[in-house]
Structure 1
């Protein structure tokens, strides 16, 4: 199964960054989402069930995630949902998100964007996607 999802949650492990023998950067971490609802009778917020995901980022996103994301950060993740069955002493299923984008959830704080410079490009020249003007210095 592979579907695009957007998930809001908290990073619960230190991101793990590695580069494969073929030179592919990969960063992964665990993410938890917890449903909350307001109980009017108790006049208090209550936690519902939690969902746990393994988030994997590749290439440029992996490099940025390794530098910017830390355990405890509130984040928004968008990507392809992958359900993977596994068999060991027991049988189970892992829910993984192959991230297409990751960002801090600004509901909880502030973040400042710094454009990444492509490898081999001049430090002062950042190339934004077509149609988006470059920020002036």
Structure 2
């Protein structure tokens, strides 16, 4: 069996990078994914304005070494990315001595599906163009 996760969504915060004493770069960011809400009959739920309602989930993404460096340099809040990796479950005791559990996605690949806003402004457009040269 394989532990494989593929997520495509919007970056929710500017990536945060740290370097361990051993020299390992670690970059973390949050990724938002959405899916349509469904009613009890399985039909897409609409809000009072007739717009499709969505459920949004937030995922903690952790990148190491080369991927961490690239993400830290090029990823911005709001940018669309696709992350391929695996789920890692963690357990810790907080400062009130309560045992906590969590999950994070360890990224093995991050593909950029859009430019960040600062690069869009420099290139003069906001549309995605699959012919653009993306340096990653």
TM-score tier, shorter chain, comes to 0.5 to 0.7
Offset at 1:29? 0.7
For structure 1, the 5+ residue unaligned runs are 116-137
Match of 2:76 in 1: 70
Structure 2 residues not aligned, in runs of 5+: 38-43, 115-125
1:80 is matched with which residue?
Answer: 86
What CA distance in whole angstroms lies between the structure 1 residues aligned with 2:47 and 2:61?
Answer: 37
How far did residue 85 of structure 1 move?
3.2
Give 3-state SS (helix, strand or coil) of 2:4's partner: strand
TM-score normalised by L of structure 1: 0.67
The CA RMSD measured in Å over matched residues stands at: 2.6
1:52 aligned residue = 58
- Using the size of structure 2 for normalisation, the TM-score is 0.68
Preserved contact between residue 60 and residue 103 of structure 2 (Cα < 8 Å): yes
Aligned to 1:93: 101
> Which one of 113, 116, 134 corresponds to residue 134 of structure 2?
113
Question: Which of the pair is proportionally richer in helix?
Answer: 2
Question: How far 1:82 moved relative to its partner?
Answer: 1.3
Compared CA separation, residues 93 and 109, structure 1 to 2 (3 A):
farther
